[in-house]
Every structure is written in structure tokens, then in C-alpha cells.
Amino acid sequence: MRTDKVFVAVVCIFLFTKAGAQEFSMGIHFSPIATIPMMAKPPVTNHPSLKAKKYNINASAGLNLNYRFNRLCIETGGNITTRSVTFRMNLDEYSYNSLGGSSSISSYSDTRSPGYAIGIPLQVGYLLDRHNAKTVYDFYGLLGASYEMHTTLPYSYGSVTSQTGSSITNNRNFYPGAGVKTNWVNIIAGFKINAILRRVGLIEYGLRYHFPLSHAGRYHVETVVSNGIYGSAFSGDFYPRLAYMDLHFTYYLLNYEKGTGRKKYRYN
């Protein structure tokens, strides 16, 4: 799917929903996220201890557009997220020969492959609960999808951590290189709470899980471990789906209600 077609589709959704919405809100969001690499197919590696870490902490920020229709809401906008994968090489009791002898090494190395993604989400929320006492809030269940455009960045390398044994060095190499682009669709499920806070205004927070329908390309990892005299090379090919958990927080700057005009939620 071409980016310009996605943009046109979002504009059409904006115009259509704005015309019939009871309330429209626009805000900015920031979210810490946990990127969770899930292998689309089994890795091919010559060493079972070369694996992708279970998660990396990243971040997301962008624009939120929210339309309310009775018990339903439609949410769209745009965001940019950092997306990274870390590959860990465990070297527990790795031995090398030295003039007929051996020396054990217990260590590991982390190598991080960063990137970022531009996303265009579209989610439908259903009102599950409304509270109008001392605290005013609405609780929604969410289901939707997003179109993601992912780009890798120049790689940053972690250091080798030697726990016991001899000193070692570790050289690493990665593919794909910087600038490699992949696109996919994410399925989104979660919940959000739309709340009015005194002296603050209208905010929104919640938790969302993003599951990609395709992988982020081939990550080829090469690791050479050496004591300066002897060494061994390890390699692996990985095809991760970059799923992530999103702790979503939005502050709404503009709020319009049909028949009333602009609403001001900030009060003492």
C-alpha cells in the first residue's frame, strides 16, 4: 500500500467522521512502549545461545484525533515510535584451546539494532463504563489496526560483559544496514480511560497491544569471540515481528461538541 493512498484514506475518514460526530477532540500523546520481538519463523543459527532479548524499552509520540458517537468512539491520527531489537550472545563455560590446555569463560554480549516507525492507526472504542461522581471518566474497550512504515538506523553496539574467566573481545556485524524499509499492518487491542481532571483538562490513558501481521525483514547477526589468540565465530538469521505493548497517555488540546462549539474541560 502506497503512503499517499493511506494519507488520502485518513483524510476521508477525518471528514466523514467529523460531519457526524457528537464530539471531536484533538490532542498529543506520549507513550513508553515495550518492543517484543516474536520470530515469524525459527531462527537459523549455529549456536543456540544466540537469541533476541524478550523485550526492549522504546517510546512513541504523535497526534490523536478522537470522535465520539453515543457509546462508540473512533480514534485515528499519526505517531512515530522508536523500535529496536537486542541480540544477546551467552557464552557460559565457553572453552578455547591454549597449547594443549583450556580456559573457561562465562560472559554475554548485547548488540542493539535500532530503528523507528511511522504509524497511522484507526481504532474503534466501545463505552463499557461511565462515572460521573467526584471523578468524571469513561472506560472504553478498543479494537483496530495501524499501518506501519519501519526504517532501520545505524547500529549501536553494546559491550561484552565478562563475569568469570579470561578476558575476551567481541566483534559484531549486522544486516540489514541503515535505511532498510519494511511496511506492515498491526492489529491493536486494549482499553483506554477518558477522564476530566481539575485544573488540567481532558486526558486519556490506557494500555494497548500491537501485533504485526508480517515480520520486519531479515536480521543477520555475526559474532566473533576471541581471547586475542583463539576464537570462534557464531552467526544467526532472525525474522522478528516487532510487536509492542503501549502505555498510552494523551492530553487533548481542542474539544468541540456538536451544537455547543468548543468545550473547556479545565476548571477549578
As a CATH number, domain 3-262 is: 2.40.160.20
Domain boundaries, the chain: 3-262
| Omega within 30 of 0 (cis) for the link into 176 | yes
* pLDDT value of position 191: 96
pLDDT for residue 190: 97
The CA-based angle 9-15-21, given to 5 degrees, is 125
Q: What is the pLDDT of residue 178?
A: 59
Q: C-alpha cell of 123?
A: 481504532
For residue 247, count CB atoms less than 10 angstroms from its CB and return exposed for 0-12, middle for 13-18, buried for 19 or more: middle
One digit per residue, pLDDT tens: the chain, 268 residues?
Answer: 454 555 455 555 555 555 556 889 999 999 999 999 999 888 888 777 788 889 999 999 999 999 998 889 999 999 999 988 888 776 654 444 443 445 555 566 677 888 899 999 999 999 998 877 666 789 999 999 999 999 887 665 554 554 444 445 554 545 555 567 889 999 999 999 998 887 788 899 999 999 999 988 888 777 766 656 656 677 788 889 999 999 999 999 988 887 676 666 665 5
pTM assigned to the model: 0.79
3-state SS string for 33-82: EEEEEEECCCCEECCCCEEECCCEEEEEEEEEEEEEECCEEEEEEEEEEE
Grid cell locating 91: 557464552
